[in-house]
Amino acid sequence: MAISFTEENYLKVIHRLSEATSEDISTNAVAELMQTKAASVTDMLRKLADKGWVNYQKYQGVRLSAEGEKIALSIVRKHRLWEVFLVDKMGFNWDEVHEIAEQLEHIESDQLVNKLDEYLGFPKTDPHGDPIPSKDGILPELAYSHLSDIKATKTCKLMGVAQDSAVFLQLLTKLNLNLGAKLAIKEINEFDRSIFVSINDAAPIFISHDVAKNILVKILA
């Protein structure tokens, strides 16, 4: 069945919200991410339900159907593969690719996506450490921890970020916090939950709790 860019974006947003919870997704939550009004969302949810892509009962929230999930994953796959292309082949920085990938994710051609995947060497993750769904719609669970949840004196490795905004990524770059960076937590301040941390064995610096919340790590020791 034909699908519009807008419908694709709604499915993508519902998918993203569903990753964080097992509850049904509220109209308002969708409205916020779609940068639109709740009334518009209600209209669209009824339409998506008619098409069989979501399960929706009014006032009860929404969740993706199996088919909706499949569509959402194919968009995520395209988005992340294009991000790899933009960074690895076009030479963009990781903070520059999100907006462009938002456009490229709507290009319709299974053949192209799979050739691109091959051309890029079947990458497992995008430039922000997010896993790339496979051709048949399987998205590997990564299960990394948020830096803000790690106890003091632990050492860990930066595996991904929980936010793609340019300002956030630029800050990380400035702090030398790239994918793969080694983080040795020296101390956590009770007052503001800021973290005193050594990056790649350099002299320790302070990182705010807000930043730490959005950094995903694997614990090394």
Q: Where along the sequence are the contacts to DNA (CB under 7 A)?
A: 4, 6-7, 26-29, 34, 36-47, 56, 58-61
* Cα-based distances in Å from 2 to 6, 48, 52, 198: 12, 12, 12, 51
Interface with a copy of itself includes 103 (CB under 8 A)?
A: yes
- In the list a copy of itself, DNA, none, the entry touching 91 (Cβ below 5 to 8 angstroms by class) is a copy of itself
Nearer to DNA, 59 or 191 (CB): 59
Q: Which x/- pattern, by CB under 8 A, does the window 59-88 give for a copy of itself?
A: ---------------------------x--
CB of 104 to DNA, least distance (A): 19
- In the list DNA, a copy of itself, none, the entry touching 100 (Cβ below 5 to 8 angstroms by class) is a copy of itself
H-run or E-run covering 111: helix 110-119
Phi, psi values for residue 34, rounded to 5°: -85, -5
Phi, psi values for residue 218, rounded to 5°: -110, 135
The rounded distance, in Å, linking the Cα atoms of 105 and 6 is 12
The rounded distance, in Å, linking the Cα atoms of 89 and 194 is 37
User: Which residue type is seen at 86?
Assistant: L
Nearer to a copy of itself, 112 or 220 (CB): 112
The rounded distance, in Å, linking the Cα atoms of 125 and 137 is 14
Among 23, 43, 50, 108, binds a copy of itself (CB under 8 A): 108
Answer yes or no: are the C-beta atoms of 169 and 161 closer than 8 Å: yes
CB of 84 to a copy of itself, least distance (A): 14
Interface with a copy of itself includes 122 (CB under 8 A)?
A: no
Binding region for a copy of itself (CB under 8 A): 86, 89-92, 96, 99-100, 103-104, 106-109, 111-112, 115-116, 119
